Amino acid sequence: MTSFAYTGRNDQGAKVSGVREAGSENELAGLLIAEGVVPTKIEDEAKSTKIDFDVMSLFKSKGKVTLDELIIFCRQMYSLMKAGVPMIQALKGLSTSSRNELLKEGLEDVVRNLEGGLSLAASMQTREDIFDNLFMSMIHVGENTGQLDTAFKQLADYLEMERETRKRIKQAVRYPTMVLAAISIAIVVINIVVIPAFASFFARFDAELPWQTQVLIATSAFFIDYGWFMLIALVASYFGFKHYINTEEGEYRWDRFKLKAPLIGGIFERIALGRFSRTFSMTYRTGVPILQALVVVANAAGNAYIRKFVSDMRGKIERGDTLTRAASSSGMFTPLVIQMLSVGEETGALDSLMDQVADFYEEEVDYDLKNLSDAIEPILIVVMGVLVLIVALGVFLPMWDLASAMKG
């Protein structure tokens, strides 16, 4: 018996970890799944300790595997498996040709595990940094059903849709981000360069300045005197925020805020629900049981708040509720979607109906993203107008007063 360190998700979607003895990684994975824990990483405890020590001592990173690289990998594996190339030979060839060092190293580890007698899904479990829970679950189902090539094709299709969603979001927020960055730079330049020049000019006349000008001068002095402290506080706040949202409570609160935020909250919610629907359809179609599929898609939704709702749905189904009733009581889905789920359960076409639900959400996201810039633009114009008005009043009012005094 060997001691294995494992991590995974329980019935409620919470992360669990520990050390168990088993004859092999496959045996431990089966035991954990029977206990309601979906394993995401299993490895020899001695190997795990050694790896952790090496990483901490060397303190180096090999980057990450991008979405595009995973899509290419899945497409290549689908073509090679379809052509009848043996799995190990295909993985060796792809690891040799890979330009990403992390992916190359991961594929080499997978090949070594395969040669050691493990299944492909179990081999990928040791590289959680590359292959996520959804990826491993799809490969596991593909192996068990003899449709591994189809599993790779479905993964590639899913990842391509994920890439397109991310691209649309980036395009939608690019313009507002550039405008906000320009406004921030303008505020800094005005406070550090422009206002001090006017302040020294006004100081020569020893005249009483309007309150708007006094506020501008005081703000500029604060920027100049405490600028470094503000910068340090800003950087510290950023890293503190990043650390907080990496905690379980912080991730939940931040994801909940994103769904409730004005203008963009509804978009994030529909994106997460679209991912849930698409992933559920894909896993259900390949033969994953509903309860296990819900655990997989809860993590694939990419939102801790949504994940909690999906975990609650899973608990209700375990107690005897149907998927439709569990989804209806969750409050996440619209009545139209609930009707489609009901029809899907009654007709046995739940996978195709969930695909239609995903299409429904994705169409709404497309529409919202196209109109996002139009919704944000008036707000940005008002912000810029207020900024210009404050500067104009603070700078030109005393100049007009001085000009009037000189004429008088």
Per-residue pLDDT tens for 113-134? 888 888 888 888 778 788 877 7
Please indicate whether residue 391 or residue 96 has the higher confidence score (pLDDT): 96
Q: What is the pLDDT of residues 134-177, one digit of tens each?
A: 787 778 777 777 778 888 888 888 788 778 877 877 877 787 78
Specify the DSSP element, H or E, that contains 3.
Answer: strand 2-9
> What does each C-alpha distance from 331 to 255, 277, 309, 324, 344 come to in angstroms?
17, 15, 9, 11, 19
DSSP labels for 205-262?
TTPPPPHHHHHHHHHHHHHHHHHHHHHHHHHHHHHHHHHHHTSHHHHHHHHHHHHHST
Q: Residue 242 forms beta bridges with which residues?
A: none
Specify the DSSP element, H or E, that contains 184.
Answer: helix 148-189
| pLDDT, position 207 | 64
pTM for this entry: 0.63
Q: Is the pLDDT of residue 59 over 60?
A: no
| pLDDT, position 243 | 92
CB 154 within 8 A of CB 286: yes
- List the Cα angle 158/36/345 in 5-degree steps: 55
**Lowest mean pLDDT: which of 62-76, 140-154, 343-357?**
140-154
How far is C-alpha 404 from the chain's CA centre? 59
Q: What is the pLDDT of residues 205-260, one digit of tens each?
A: 666 777 777 888 888 888 888 888 988 999 999 999 999 988 888 888 998 898 88
| pLDDT, position 235 | 93
Among positive and negative, which fits the CA dihedral 96, 98, 101, 105?
negative
Q: What is the pLDDT of residues 300-322, one digit of tens each?
A: 667 788 888 888 888 888 888 88
- Beta-carbon contacts of residue 353 (< 8 Å; ≥ 6 apart): 340, 341, 343, 344, 347
Adjacency order of strands within the sheet including 15-22: 15-22, 2-9, 38-44
- Beta-carbon contacts of residue 27 (< 8 Å; ≥ 6 apart): none
Please indicate whether residue 302 or residue 267 has the higher confidence score (pLDDT): 267
Q: Is the pLDDT of residue 53 over 50?
A: no
Burial of 405 (0-12, 13-18, 19+ CB in 10 A): exposed
